Structure 1
Amino acid sequence: MSQAAPHAAGPKSSRAHGPDNVWASSGTLFAGVLMLVSGVLGVLEGIAGIANDQAYVLTGNLAGDTYVYKFDTTAWGWIHLVLGIVVAATGFGLLKGARWARMAGIVLVSLYVIAHFMWLPYQPIWALVGIALGVFVIWSLCTDRERYIP
């Protein structure tokens, strides 16, 4: 008389409790919070850039015309405002467990990382922090597949 244990639901459930997936699942929750907060801060950055052209200036030797991505701060303000709104909404969707939010989050945070890279001369420390957090968010959204695979 051989009976399977009632708690053994197959290989998928045993993988769901592994140490790597615990980090990824916790990371996904943290990624949603980071996206929400980062999006709100992006909105505030955008409003500051739109409202005051002198709010942000190029630092160091890039203050001249040598920086390739030198836009008017109003243009940067609109970029940060729009990205911030969409990233915050996606972070909220991720926290609510929406299926679309994972893929949208990967794409949007990738764009957010690129925008922060181009924003380096304006706010170097914040841009580096944004890039590092963005890489973590992308990693956590790409590694936590258990919750999203039907």
Structure 2
Amino acid sequence: MASDASRPQAGHGQPRPWHAPTSGTTLLAGVLMIFGGAMAFLEGIAAVASDDLFVVTRHYVFEFSLTGWGWVHLILGIALVVAGCAVLAGALWGRYFGIVVAGLGAIANFLWIPYYPWWALVLVVVNLFVVWALCTGAHRESDMV
């Protein structure tokens, strides 16, 4: 049996040990980011494929092509899944990246409302809840230490 002196200690130049999220809200935010990212990715695939699922509105203030919106949602979906995996792995950068990407996802889905209203509103709420959970989880985790 090895003594404590022979075990590598996390110090200068050595990698930190894995640190899972200690707050339930952070864990929930990571899971919701993966879910929301997957939904945005599927939304993007459907839009790029020019599916007949979406309503094409005329004279909307934020009118873009359906294919353009599809690429926006594809990229945001992939970024949300990556950020969610990073948050679940305990990476601090994942939390900050997740806040930014979830905020952008909420804005993109708000602008997506004319194309598919219910789906867009659900994803706006999910993304706003993720931002809240990541910000609140950071506060709760700092109180636990």
TM-score bucket of the superposed structures, by smaller chain: 0.7 to 0.9
1:113 matched to 2:106: yes
* Corresponding letter in the other structure for 1:103: Y
Q: What number of residue pairs does the alignment pair up?
A: 122
| Aligned residue among 45, 48, 53 for 2:46 | 48
Q: Distance between the aligned counterparts of 2:117 and 2:100, measured in 1?
A: 23
In the alignment, structure 2 segments of 5+ residues that lack a partner are 1-21
* Matching residue's letter, 2:75: V
1:112-141 deviation per Cα after TM superposition (whole angstroms, max 9, x unaligned)? 000011011111111111111112111111
2:141 alignment partner, SS class = coil
| Identity percentage of aligned residues | 46
Matched, 1:64 2:64: no
Task: Give the secondary-structure state (helix, strand or coil) at the position aligned to 1:144.
Answer: helix
| Structure 1 counterpart of 2:36 | 38
TM-score of the superposed pair, with normalisation by structure 1: 0.74
- State the distance in 1 between where 2:124 and 2:83 align: 18
Structure 1 counterpart of 2:70, from 67, 77, 82: 77
Q: What residue number does 2:9 align with? A: none
1:25 aligns to what?
23
Q: 1:71 to 1:148 in 2, by over 3 A?
A: farther
Higher percent of residues as helix: 1
For the aligned residue pairs, the C-alpha RMSD in angstroms reads 2.0
In the superposition, the TM-score normalised over structure 2's length comes to 0.77
Partner of 1:4: none
Matches within 5 A, 1:121-136: 121-136=114-129
Q: Segments of 4+ in structure 1 off by > 3 A?
A: 146-150
